[in-house]
Amino acid sequence: MATICLETRINSDIHKVFDLARDIDLHQKSTRKTNEKAVAGRTSGLIEKNETVTWRARHLGVEQTLTTKIISMERPSQFTDIMLKGAFKTMKHQHIFKKKNNSTVMIDIFEFESPLGILGRFFNHIFLKSYMRRFLLERNELIKETAEAHN
């Protein structure tokens, strides 16, 4: 299983950052390059515990569909989503938020496994892990810019 850990310091209130991280509309803005759209389940606004969202996007030249579910949420400290259906063999994304002085530290722990056994692990190592890291960094940058612009 591949794991990506990111830490983003945001000069904004923890509640604001928490809500921006679960905002479906903001997520769609951050994924313009892949034309990611919420097409089923929660398709706009703030996703809540036990809700699902189905995303349709073009990744690596192929249109893909991914359905995720929020399996845990403790406002404003964390929420976790898992893949129910999609291209990965497994996928889990933990979103953790910590208040630090007058700012928020947003931590992503993104774990995934590709199908196809050893071939999938090779693909993860050679390409997919860095691709997903860039994808998450772009999302986090928009969350940071949006949160800090409205202080």
Residue-wise DSSP of 23-74: BHHHHHHHTGGGT-EEEEES-SSB--TT-EEEEEEEETTEEEEEEEEEEEEE
Strand, coil or helix: 22: coil
Q: pLDDT per residue over 97-128, tens digit each? A: 999 998 999 999 999 998 877 777 777 777 88
d(CA 111, CA 76): 22
Residue 34's domain comprises: 2-149
- Please count the structural domains in the chain: 1
Distance CA 149, CA 72 (A): 29
Q: What is the CATH number of the domain that holds 143?
A: 3.30.530.20
Three-state DSSP at 102 gives coil
- Binned at pLDDT 50, 70 and 90, residue 151 comes out as low
CA distance 83 to 15: 25
pLDDT > 80? residue 20: yes
Write out pLDDT tens, residues 69-99. Answer: 999 999 999 999 999 999 889 999 999 999 9
Question: Of 68, 79, 92, nearest to 18 (Cα)?
Answer: 79
